């Protein structure tokens, strides 16, 4: 009975003042946008006008960039920003349909608190919340939470898996129709429809129930972005949206197939997992105009900032002792993001890049695909991946805000709509409905 045409899913990755690390220095940038609510409200309303499935906020539990001192750090343009759950709760009031997804770490929170805040956001937004599940990968964050160094990779994922069991179990504390509000009988809920978790595990002991009724979406949408073997397996088990980073279609296709196969191995429907690679769009009336825009941003990258970014992306591996114009050295094993380190190492080797060239190559897309050109050529590039098994949609990372989002909504989305690849109006009201994801059954409702 499935007659609807498959449509591209779009997320808007919003980080003030833009995804490019030089963006804050651009004349159009709101350099203080990270703590300007009006700036974010305008951005999200623009994304909603463009019919994006969701906006997406990344996060870190601290000032994560590994600069060696305050002087170096002072050149970095995004050391302060709103905390995502408070910001999205405020944005819920300023919007009506668009999904609201935030990153939160399983490493330095308690599952009860996370389950509660995302369920609360789902109630506040009438079913528009999404949670990007991450493990925290930097020592800078560990030092804010009673540790000197980050947890090792395997321990982070072990904790994350049990964290998900607890959180989803808490979300199912109450059946959808548990609350009776029977004033006459003095019966607030039906006790047969309360399911107390009583989780006892290796990392967590959590009794429950959650003190919120079941969320409008049942569960907030689960998003995940880990690309290592552990990360892919985690995604296959838990994720409904997978953010990923690929430069070439063949890589994207291989990842897409691999994750969907693993999803099937976990007994899940592969159509219920949407693979959304990041794209960094640079939009011009001509290719040359787009290239000029990019060059302007690249010129704004301070070498101190570029080198710090590289250290961070390599998983806290400091390469500042090596010549900037020499090759990337052999790298020690990281306990940070393994997949990202490998991606960069292979890129440097295969393209013969110096350290300076390498950091310049990631100052914009940070390993994500750069799509540069006219609205038509960018639509071509998105369509190619979408129709050839590389993507179910894209996480759009505007280089500079608000300009990059205004251009995408004003120029690229209409082109995708003309091609019948993207909605012209929201059909549903919840993020699950936008993404074509089923509402999870609750406890007591298993078939």
Q: Are 68 and 320 in contact (CB under 8 A)?
A: yes
Euclidean distance between CA atoms 79 and 62, whole angstroms: 8
Per CB under 8 A, 347 contacts a copy of itself: no
299 binds a copy of itself (CB under 8 A): no
Total residues binding a copy of itself (CB under 8 A): 79
Residue 208 CB, nearest approach to a copy of itself (Å): 7
Q: Are strands 205-206 and 199-200 parallel, antiparallel or unpaired?
A: antiparallel
- Give the span between the Cα atoms of 223 and 238, in whole angstroms: 8
Residue 267 is a binding residue for a copy of itself (CB under 8 A): no
Provide CB contacts within 8 A for 108, sequence distance 6+: 61, 136, 141, 144, 145
Per CB under 8 A, 431 contacts a copy of itself = no
Q: Distance between CA 141 and CA 132 in Å, rounded?
A: 17
Say whether 238 sits in a helix, a strand or coil. Answer: helix
Q: Which of 32, 265, 351, 384 binds a copy of itself (CB under 8 A)?
A: 32
Segment contacting a copy of itself by CB under 8 A, of 67-75, 252-260, 325-333, 405-413: 67-75
Residue 133 found at the interface with a copy of itself (CB under 8 A): no
* Shortest Å, Cβ 366 to a copy of itself: 18
The answer for residues whose C-beta is within 8 angstroms of residue 123's C-beta and 6 or more apart is: 212, 213, 215, 216
The 3-state secondary structure of 11-56, one letter per residue: EEECCCCCCCCCHHHCCCCCCCHHHCHHHHHHHHHHHHHCCCCEEE
With binding defined as CB under 8 A, does residue 143 bind a copy of itself? Answer: yes
Check if the beta carbon of residue 331 is closer than 8 Å to that of residue 341: yes
Q: How far is the CB of 360 from a copy of itself (least distance, A)?
A: 16
Looking at beta carbons only, is 212 or 416 nearer to a copy of itself?
212
Residue 181 near a copy of itself by CB under 8 A: yes
Residue 180's SS3 state is strand
Q: Choose which of 63, 249, 324, 370 interacts with a copy of itself (CB under 8 A).
A: 63
Interacting positions 387-406 with a copy of itself (CB under 8 A): none
Contacts of 376 (CB under 8 A, 6+ apart): 415
Q: Closest separation between CB of residue 316 and a copy of itself, Å?
A: 14
Residue 54: beta bridge partners? 11, 99
Residues 6+ apart with CB under 8 A from 342: none
Rule CB under 8 A: choose which of 45, 155, 158, 179 binds a copy of itself.
Answer: 179
Select 115 or 362, whichever has its Cβ closest to a copy of itself.
115
Q: How far is the CB of 350 from a copy of itself (least distance, A)?
A: 31
Q: Are 376 and 413 in contact (CB under 8 A)?
A: no
Contact between 144 and a copy of itself per CB under 8 A: yes
- CB nearer a copy of itself, residue 390 or residue 442: 442
Q: Is the dihedral of CA 49, 224, 113, 106 positive or negative?
A: negative
Stretch binding a copy of itself (CB under 8 A), from 44-52, 202-210, 395-403, 439-447: 202-210
Residues between 304 and 343 with contacts to a copy of itself, criterion CB under 8 A? 305
Q: Within 70-129, which residues bind a copy of itself (CB under 8 A)?
A: 70-71, 73-77, 79-83, 85-87, 89-90, 92-94, 108-110, 112-113, 116-117, 119-121, 123-124
**Phi–psi pair at 188, nearest 5 degrees:** -75, -40
């Amino acid at each position: 009975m499935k007659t609807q045409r498959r449509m591209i899913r779009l997320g808007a990755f919003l980080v003030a003042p833009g995804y490019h690390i030089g963006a804050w220095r651009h004349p159009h940038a709101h350099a203080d946008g990270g703590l300007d609510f009006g700036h974010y409200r305008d951005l999200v309303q623009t994304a909603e006008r463009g019919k994006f499935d969701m906006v997406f906020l990344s996060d870190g539990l601290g000032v994560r960039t590994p600069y060696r001192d305050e002087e170096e750090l002072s050149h970095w343009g995004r050391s302060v920003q709103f905390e995502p759950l408070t910001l999205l709760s405020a944005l819920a009031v300023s919007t009506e349909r668009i999904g609201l997804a935030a990153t939160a770490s399983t490493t330095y929170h308690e599952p009860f608190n996370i389950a509660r805040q995302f369920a609360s956001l789902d109630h506040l937004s009438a079913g528009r919340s999404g949670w990007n599940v991450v493990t925290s990968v930097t020592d800078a964050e560990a030092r804010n939470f009673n540790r000197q160094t980050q947890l090792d990779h395997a321990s982070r994922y072990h904790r994350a898996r049990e964290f998900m069991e607890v959180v989803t179990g808490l979300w199912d504390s109450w059946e959808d129709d548990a609350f009776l509000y029977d004033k006459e009988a003095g019966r607030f809920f039906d006790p047969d429809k309360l399911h107390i978790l009583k989780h006892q595990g290796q990392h967590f002991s959590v009794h429950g129930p959650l003190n919120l009724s079941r969320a409008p979406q049942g569960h907030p949408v689960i998003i995940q972005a880990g690309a290592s073997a552990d990360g892919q397996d985690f995604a296959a088990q838990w994720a409904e949206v997978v953010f990923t980073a690929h430069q070439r279609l063949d890589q994207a296709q291989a990842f897409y197939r691999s994750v969907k196969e693993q999803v099937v191995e976990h007994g899940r429907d592969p159509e219920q997992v949407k693979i959304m690679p990041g794209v960094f769009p640079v939009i011009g009336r001509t290719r040359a105009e787009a290239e000029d825009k990019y060059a302007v941003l690249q010129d704004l990258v301070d070498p101190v900032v570029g080198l710090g970014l590289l250290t961070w992306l390599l998983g806290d591996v400091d390469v500042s002792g090596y010549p900037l114009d020499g090759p990337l050295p052999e790298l020690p094993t990281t306990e940070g993001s393994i997949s990202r380190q490998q991606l960069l190492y292979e890129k440097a080797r295969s393209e013969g890049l110096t350290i300076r060239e390498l950091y310049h190559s990631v100052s914009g897309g940070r390993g994500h695909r750069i799509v540069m050109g006219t609205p038509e050529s960018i639509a071509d590039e998105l369509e190619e991946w979408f129709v050839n098994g590389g993507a179910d949609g894209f996480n759009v990372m505007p280089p500079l805000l608000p300009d990059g989002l205004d251009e995408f909504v004003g120029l690229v989305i209409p082109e995708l709509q003309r091609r019948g690849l993207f909605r012209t109006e929201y059909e549903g009201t919840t993020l699950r409905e936008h993404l074509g994801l089923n509402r999870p059954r609750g406890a007591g409702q298993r078939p």
